[in-house]
Amino acid sequence: MRIYVAHAIYGFVRIVFDRSGAPSWWWSIPVSTIAGVTTVMGVLYALMEHDLKRLLAYHTVENIGIIFIGLGLALAFKSEGMLFAAALAFTAALLHVFNHSLFKRLLFFGAGAVLTATGERDMERLGGLIHRMPQTAFVFLIGGVRNTRLIGLSCDTRSKMGSRSWRLRF
C-alpha cells in the first residue's frame, strides 16, 4: 500500500507544481479543504478501530491529509509570490512523506510480528505483549515516538547527515 501513497503524492506534485504553469490562488482551497477533511476523518476512523492493521491504515489516511495540507499551503503561497513560505510548506510536506515512510514501516513490521506470534489483530485481546515480545515492543515504541513529530524525535536531517544540511530548491 505504501507505494501507492507515494505515487499519488508524486503525481500530484508533478502535475500541479511542474506541468500546470503558474497556479491560481483558488487551487489551494479545494486541496486544503479535502486534505483537512481527510485528516479529521482518518483520525476519527482510527480512534474507533480495534483491528491493529486497520488502525495503522486509517492513520496513513490521516497522514496523507497532513501532507496535502502542506502541499495546499505551498500552492497558495506560490500563487501569491511568497516563494520562501511556499518552499517551507513544500519541504515540510516532503519531509513528512519521508518520515511517514520510516515510522509506518516500523509500525507495520511490529503489527506483522504481533499477528504472526499471536494470530490475533484485535487490540482488545492483545494485552501484556511487552513481556512476551520485548523486541517488538521496542520497535513499536520507536515507531510511536517517531510518529509524535517532535523535533529531535522525528525526521531530523542534521542527525541523519551529520553536519551537512540539505538544500531544497523550489
Q: Is 49 helix (H, G, I), strand (E, B) or coil?
A: coil
137: containing domain: 2-161
* Per-residue model confidence (pLDDT) at position 158: 39
Residue 49 lies in a domain: yes
Residue 166 in domain: no
Q: Say whether 122 sits in a helix, a strand or coil.
A: strand
In a domain, 145, yes or no: yes
Whether 170 is in a domain gets the answer: no
> Is residue 92 a part of any domain in this protein?
yes
pLDDT at 62: 92
**First CA to last CA distance, the chain:** 28
Asked if residue 110 is part of any domain, the answer here is yes
Residue 168: inside a domain: no
Q: What is the count of structural domains for the chain? A: 1
- Which pairs with CB-CB distance under 8 Å and at least 24 residues apart come from 20-26? 22/79, 23/75, 23/78, 23/79, 24/79, 25/76, 25/79, 25/80
The pTM of the full predicted model, rounded to 2 decimals, is: 0.79
Tens digits of residue pLDDT in 26-40: 888 999 999 999 999
Residue with cell 482518518: 42
| Cross-strand pairs, 51 | 122
Say if 48 falls within a structural domain: yes
- Tens digits of residue pLDDT in 97-155: 888 888 888 888 888 888 998 888 888 888 888 888 888 888 888 887 877 766 555 55
